[in-house]
Amino acid sequence: MAEDPSDSLHLPRSAPIDSYGKGGFYFAEMSHQGSLLCLPDAIWAWPVSDPAQIDEYSLRRVIENANAIDTLIIGTANQVWQPSASLRNAMRRIGIVLDPMQTGPAIRTYNIMIGERRRVAAALIAVA
C-alpha cells in the first residue's frame, strides 16, 4: 500500500513560514514542495492544490486537534474562496473560526498569530 503524502510529518512543532512560491514553502531551515497543514504541534504535507478540495476530510487533522485551535487560517493560493456553509458550520460546532484568504496574506497572518502564541492553525495551498 502506498503511503499517503499527507502522512508525511515535516516538523514536530509549529514554526513560522519564512518564504513561499515556486510551488512550495521554506520554514525552520527546511523546504517543502506542495501545500502545508500547520498545526500547533506539527507541520504536515497537505495534499490539496485547489480550494475546491477543502472539506472536512482534507481538514481532518484540524478537526482531530480542535481542542488546541481557535482559528484556522486557510491560504487559497491566488484565488478568492469562501467555505461552504456546511464546512463553516462544522468548524463552528467544534469551536474553530475559519479565516480564508490568499496564501501570501495567510502566511503573514499566521506568522503574527503564532508569534503572539495564539491557538492558530494554517492550511496553506502552495503558490506556483
CATH number at residue 51: 3.40.1230.10
Q: Is the pLDDT of residue 27 over 80?
A: yes
pLDDT of residue 2: 41
The per-residue pLDDT for range 71-128, each reduced to its tens digit, is: 999 999 999 999 999 999 999 999 999 999 999 999 999 999 999 999 999 999 999 9
- Whether 1 is in a domain gets the answer no
- Whether 7 is in a domain gets the answer no
pTM of the model: 0.92
> What cell was used for 17?
513560514
pLDDT of residue 1: 37
| Between residues 93 and 3, the one the model is more confident about | 93
Name which of 49, 47, 51 is nearest 60 in CA terms. Answer: 47
- Whether 39 is in a domain gets the answer yes
The number of angstroms, rounded, from the C-alpha of 59 to the middle of its chain's C-alpha atoms is 8
Q: Which residue range forms the structural domain that includes residue 75?
A: 12-125
Answer for the pair 28, 56: CB distance below 8 angstroms, yes or no.
Answer: no
Determine which helix (DSSP H) or strand (DSSP E) holds 8, and give its type and residue range: none
Number of structural domains, the chain?
A: 1
